[in-house]
Amino acid sequence: MDEFASIHHWTDARQAAEWQRQRGVIIGIGDDAAVVDPAAAADGVAEPKRLLLAVDTMVETVHFNETTMRDEDVGYKALAANISDIAAMGGVPLHALVSVSVPPSYNPERMRRLYDGLYECAERYGVAVAGGDTTSSPQHLVVAVTVTGTVEAGRELRRSGAMPGDAVFVTGAVGMAAAGLHALLADAGLAGAASLVQAHRRPNPSVRAGRLLLERGTCRSLNDVSDGLASEAWEIAEASGLRLVLNEQLLPKSGSMAAYASQVHVDPLEWMLYGGEDYALLGTMAAEDVEAMQAAFRQEGIPFFVIGETEAGLPGVELICNEQAYQGKGSGSRPVKRAALSKRGYNHFST
C-alpha cells in the first residue's frame, strides 16, 4: 500500500509548469485539492464559457484484460474516453483527475507504463493532469478519470436538440474498435487486423470535430459513439423525442474491418451498429447546411458522413436496408426494408 500511497510516484515532473499554467492550473497535484482557473486557459476567445465535467471508469476484466490491452493502452484509453465526452458537448478538454485502485498484480513498472499512456493522451489533447488519488485494490485494477473542459455558454451540443428533417451524421468509421476486440479475443492471427486493434486500444476522441460542429452553429444534437451507433442513436431519439432513420448503405465501413469480417465470417453490420468505443461523433444538423459542413470538415481532413435523417414520431431508430445487398447477394432495384434497431448497447466481452 505504501508504495501506492501517493499519486506523486506516477505523476511527478510529467508535465511542465508552463503547460499546466497555460491550461489555468494554479495549484496542481500535491495539496488537498487542485486550484484551477478555467477562464485563464489561453484560447484567445472572449466569449463567456461554462465548465464541462465528465467521469468515466475502466475496470479490469469488465472493460479490458491482459489479452486485449497493454498497460499503456489502459492509461491512454481511460483518459481518451473522457475527452470524448467533452468533445461530444462541443467543448475543449482542460484538466484531468485520475483515481487508480491498484491490485497486487500491478507492480511499479506496470503502473509507470499505465501513466505513460495516460500522459501520452494528455499531451496529444492538451490536457493538464491536475489531481488524483491512488489506493490499493484487492484484485482488479480500476481507473476512474474525471475531465473538465470549457464550452461557450449556451452553445453546448446536447442530445436533446434534434428536430424533424435534420440530417443524421457520423464523423468517422464505426465498428473498427469492436472488430479489433474480436481479433484480440479470437487470437486468430492479427496480421490484417493491426489497424482494428489500434482502434480498440488507442481511440481518437473527436475534439476538433466537436469544435467544428459547434462553430458552424447548425448542429442540433450530438453524442459520442461509446456504446455503439444504435444505442447512441436511441439516446438522441429519446432525448429529442423523434425518430432517426439510418441508411445502411451510407454507414461508413472501413476496408480493413470489411476484410477482417469476411475473413472470420462475421456480418460487419453487427459491429457497426452494436460495437462500441469508436468515439466518433454521432449527431443531427440542419439539412440545409450539410454541404457547407462537409466542406468545413473536408478542409480540416476530418471524415464526415451523412447516414440518414430524422422524422417526427415516437422515439426510435430504424435502418433502411436493401435486403439482398444485406445478404451479400449483390445490389439491384429490389424492395427496400425498414428495420427497427434495438436499443441494446455494447458489452465488452460478449461479442
Nearer to its own copies, 57 or 263 (CB): 57
Of the candidates 200, 204, 88, 81, the residue with the CA atom closest to the CA atom of residue 146 = 81
- Please identify, among the stretches 88-96, 255-263, 309-317, 321-329, the one whose residues bind its own copies according to the rule CB under 8 A: 88-96
DSSP assignment of 296-327: HHHHHT---EEEEEEESSSSEEEEEEEHHHHT
Q: What cell was used for 311? A: 422524422
139 touches its own copies by CB under 8 A: yes
Annotated binding residue 37: no
Q: What are phi and psi of 268, to 5 degrees?
A: -65, -20
Nearer to its own copies, 52 or 261 (CB): 52
Among 89, 181, 184, 244, binds its own copies (CB under 8 A): 89
Which SS3 state, helix, strand or coil, does residue 143 take? strand
Residue the block writes with cell 464559457: 49
35 touches its own copies by CB under 8 A: yes
Residues 6+ apart with CB under 8 A from 92: 41, 43, 86, 126, 149, 150, 151, 207, 211
Q: How far is the CB of 95 from its own copies (least distance, A)?
A: 7
Residue 75: in which H helix or E strand, if any? helix 71-87
Q: 56 to 85, contacts with its own copies by CB under 8 A?
A: 56-63, 84-85
38 touches its own copies by CB under 8 A: yes
Q: How far is the CB of 131 from its own copies (least distance, A)?
A: 5
130 touches its own copies by CB under 8 A: yes
**Residues 67/184, Cβ–Cβ less than 8 Å:** yes
- Please identify, among the stretches 14-22, 92-100, 272-280, 316-324, the one whose residues bind its own copies according to the rule CB under 8 A: 92-100
142 touches its own copies by CB under 8 A: yes
First-to-last alpha carbon distance for the chain, in angstroms, is 36
Among 9, 140, 211, 216, binds its own copies (CB under 8 A): 140
Annotated binding residue 73: no
DSSP 289: G
Torsion-angle region of residue 305: left (phi > 0), alpha (psi -120 to 50) or beta? beta
Q: Residue positions in the annotated binding site?
A: 32, 56, 63, 85, 115, 132-133, 159, 224, 226-227, 277, 346
Residues engaged in binding its own copies (CB under 8 A):
1, 5, 26-27, 30-38, 50-63, 84-86, 88-89, 91, 95, 97-99, 101, 130-133, 135-140, 142, 144, 146-149, 151, 153, 156, 158-160, 222-224, 239, 345, 347
